[in-house]
C-alpha cells in the first residue's frame, strides 16, 4: 500500500476497535452510549488534523470546520460519515485482516469456520486485482460501513492542512449517530451546520453514486387476540400467532425483498413476537416512486382489513412511522453538488454510474431538509455481516474525489 492508503488504513483500524453498535429498540439518543464515547475520541483527534470549532452536541453528533485557505469565493461544503455500526451482526472486538496485493483468487476470512471470499461469491473482487483488501476475521462485521468513510474524511483534512498550496473553501465535517436505525440524522441541526451542500461518504462499489433512494417507512402491526383453553376454543378463540402468519402470507409474493430488484419496491416483514394474547409484526416499506409507495401502504391496510373481517374477535392495529424519502428531485432542482461530483469523477478517471439506492442514507433526510447531499462510495462491500470487505484503493479514490470537489469549488 502507498503512504496515503497506509494512513487511511491505520485510522480505520483504530476506529473499528471501538464498538459502536446502534440499537433500534433503544429509547435513548444516541441509542447506545458507545457512540458518545467514540464521538469524543474523534473530537479529540479533529484539531490535530486541522479542524476548528469542533463540537460534540447533546446527541453525540460531532462537527468541525476546516477553514478556507483562500479569499476566493467558494461554497461551504459538508462531508458526512456515520459512527454507528448495524446490530444485525456482532460489531464488537473487530480485528481487521489485511490481504496485500490481491491476486484474483480466494481470500480466507476464517479457515476454521470455512469462510472464504472469491469472485464467485463476491463478484466485485474481480475489480480489485492488485489492491490491498481488508476483511474481518469471521467473528464480527468489519465496520467499513461507515468507519472507512470517517477515515477518508479525517485523512483528507490532514492532507489539506499539510498542503496549504492546495486552495479550498470552507469544509465542514459531521460524524453522525444512529444511521443504521434511520433515526439519528433527525437530530442533526442543518441550519447551524451552515453548509451549502454536502456528501455522505457511505457507499460501496467504486464509482457508484447514490443520487436517489427508497421512500421508507417502518410498519408495526399489533394484534390483540382472545385466548381460552384449546379444548373449548371453537367459535371463541382468536389466535394472534395464526393471524400474524395469515397477514404475512397474504402479502403478494412479487412485492418482497427476495423477489424484487432495481427500482421495484417491497415490504419486508422482519420480526414477529407474541403469543396467544398478543402478537406484533415489525416491518419496513420501501419504494422509489412516492405514488407506488403510498399504494403499498394502502394495499397492506386492505390486507389487514380483510383479516379484521375474517377474525372479528381480534383487534388488529397498523402504525406507520416515517423514516426517509427519495432525494432524487431535490438534487435535480439544486444541481451544484452533483455537478461538482461528476466533474471530480471524470477528473480522477473513475468510471461511474448514478444509482437509485435500494436503501437510504443520511443524505436522503438531509436533502429533504434543505441540504442537498448525494452519497458517494467509501470502498466497502457486503456490509452488515462477517463477509464485509473493503479495498484500500477504492478508499483512496474516494479521498481524491473529495479533494477534487473541495478544490474545484473555489471560483
**130-165 tens-digit pLDDT:** 999 999 999 999 999 999 999 999 999 999 999 999
- The reply to whether 3-213+326-408 and 215-323 are identical in fold is no
- Cβ(199)–Cβ(101) under 8 Å? no
What value does the CA radius of gyration of the chain take, rounded to a whole number of Å? 23
Q: Does domain 215-323 have CATH number 1.10.1740.10?
A: no
Q: Which CATH number fits domain 3-213+326-408: 3.40.630.10, 1.10.3720.10, 3.40.1190.10, 3.20.20.140?
A: 3.40.630.10
Q: In what helix (H) or strand (E) does residue 376 lie, and over which residues does it extend?
A: strand 375-377
% of the chain residues with pLDDT over 90: 91
Q: What pTM was computed for the model?
A: 0.83
User: Partners of 391 in the beta sheet?
Assistant: 133
pLDDT of 305 reads: 98
Pairing of strands 97-99, 133-135: antiparallel
Grid cell listed for 392:
484500500
pLDDT confidence of residue 365: 87
The three cell numbers of residue 72 are 476566493
CA–CA distance, 185 with 258 (Å, rounded to integer): 28
**Chain segment 296-350, per-residue pLDDT in tens:** 999 999 999 999 999 999 999 999 998 888 898 889 999 999 999 999 999 999 9
pLDDT in tens, 268-302: 999 999 999 999 999 999 999 999 999 999 999 99
- What's the half-sphere exposure (Cβ side, CA atoms, 13 Å) at 334? 14
Task: Tell me: pLDDT of 361 over 80.
Answer: no
Is residue 355 very low, low, confident or very high in pLDDT (cuts 50, 70, 90)?
confident
| DSSP secondary structure string for all residues of 303-339 | HHHHHHHH-TTSEEEEEEEEEE---HHHHHHSTHHHH
Give 388 or 262, the one with higher predicted confidence: 388
Average of per-residue pLDDT across 66-71: 97
- pLDDT score at 358: 84
Least confident of 49-58, 72-81, 206-215: 206-215
Task: Please give the pLDDT value at position 55.
Answer: 98
Q: Is 84 a catalytic residue?
A: yes
CB-based contacts of 395, cutoff 8 Å, min separation 6: 5, 8, 12, 148, 151, 152, 378, 379
Q: Pick the catalytic residue: 19, 131, 158, 179?
A: 179
pLDDT of the residue at 402 = 98
355 compared with 243, residue with greater pLDDT: 243
> What residues contact 191, with CB distance under 8 A and at least 6 apart?
none
Q: Where do the structural domains in the chain lie, given as residue ranges?
A: 3-213+326-408, 215-323
| Catalytic entry in 84, 131, 178, 381 | 84
Mean pLDDT of the chain: 95
27-41, 94-108, 264-278, 348-362, range with the lowest pLDDT: 348-362
Asked if the model's pLDDT at residue 84 lies above 90, the reply is yes
Query: Cα separations (Å) of 117 from 25, 108, 142, 206, 284?
Result: 32, 6, 14, 18, 30
Q: Give the model's pLDDT for residue 151.
A: 98
What pLDDT score does 323 carry?
83
Question: Hunting for cell 442537498 — which residue is that?
Answer: 372
Q: Are strands 77-82 and 197-203 parallel, antiparallel or unpaired?
A: parallel
* Whole-number pLDDT of residue 329: 83
SS3 239: coil
On the question of pLDDT at 368 being above 80, the answer is yes
d(CA 163, CA 305): 64
Amino acid at each position: 500500500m502507498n503512504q496515503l492508503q497506509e494512513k487511511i488504513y491505520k485510522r480505520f483500524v483504530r476506529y473499528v476497535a471501538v464498538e459502536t453498535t446502534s440499537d433500534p429498540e433503544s429509547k435513548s439518543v444516541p441509542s447506545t452510549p458507545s457512540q458518545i464515547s467514540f464521538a469524543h475520541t474523534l473530537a479529540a483527534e479533529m484539531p490535530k488534523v486541522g479542524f476548528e470549532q469542533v463540537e460534540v452536541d447533546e446527541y453525540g453528533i460531532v462537527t468541525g470546520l476546516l477553514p478556507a485557505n483562500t479569499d476566493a469565493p467558494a461554497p461551504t461544503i459538508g462531508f458526512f460519515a456515520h459512527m454507528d455500526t448495524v446490530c444485525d451482526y456482532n460489531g464488537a472486538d473487530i480485528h481487521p485482516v489485511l490481504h496485500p496485493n490481491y491476486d484474483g483468487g480466494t481470500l480466507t476470512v476464517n479457515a476454521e469456520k470455512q469462510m472464504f471470499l472469491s469472485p464467485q461469491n463476491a463478484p466485485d473482487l474481480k475489480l480489485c486485482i492488485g489492491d490491498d483488501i481488508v476483511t474481518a476475521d469471521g467473528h464480527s462485521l468489519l465496520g467499513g460501513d461507515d468507519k472507512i468513510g470517517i477515515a477518508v474524511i479525517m485523512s483528507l483534512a490532514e492532507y489539506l492542512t499539510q498542503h496549504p498550496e492546495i486552495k479550498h473553501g470552507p469544509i465542514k465535517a459531521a460524524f453522525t449517530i444512529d444511521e443504521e436505525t434511520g433515526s439519528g440524522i433527525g437530530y442533526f441541526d442543518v441550519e447551524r451546520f451552515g453548509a451549502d451542500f454536502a456528501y455522505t461518504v457511505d457507499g460501496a462499489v467504486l464509482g457508484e453514486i447514490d443520487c436517489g433512494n427508497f421512500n421508507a417507512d417502518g410498519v408495526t402491526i399489533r394484534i390483540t387476540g382472545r385466548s381460552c383453553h384449546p379444548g373449548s376454543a371453537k367459535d371463541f378463540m382468536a389466535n394472534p400467532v395464526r393471524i400474524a402468519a395469515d397477514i404475512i402470507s397474504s402479502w403478494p409474493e412479487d412485492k418482497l425483498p427476495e423477489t424484487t430488484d432495481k427500482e421495484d419496491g417491497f415490504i419486508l416483514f422482519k420480526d414477529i413476537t407474541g403469543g396467544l394474547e398478543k402478537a406484533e409484526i415489525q416491518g419496513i416499506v420501501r419504494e422509489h416512486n412516492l405514488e407506488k409507495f403510498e399504494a403499498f401502504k394502502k394495499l397492506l391496510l386492505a390486507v389487514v382489513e380483510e383479516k379484521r373481517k375474517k377474525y372479528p374477535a381480534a383487534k388488529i392495529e397498523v402504525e406507520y412511522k416515517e423514516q426517509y424519502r427519495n432525494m432524487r428531485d431535490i438534487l435535480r432542482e439544486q444541481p451544484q453538488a452533483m455537478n461538482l461530483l461528476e466533474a471530480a469523477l471524470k477528473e480522477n478517471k473513475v468510471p461511474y454510474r448514478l444509482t437509485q439506492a435500494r436503501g437510504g442514507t443520511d443524505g436522503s433526510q438531509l436533502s429533504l431538509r434543505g441540504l442537498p447531499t448525494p452519497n458517494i462510495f467509501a470502498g466497502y462491500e457486503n456490509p452488515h455481516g462477517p463477509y464485509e470487505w473493503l479495498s484500500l484503493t477504492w478508499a483512496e479514490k474516494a479521498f481524491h474525489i473529495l479533494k477534487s470537489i473541495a478544490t474545484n469549488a473555489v471560483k
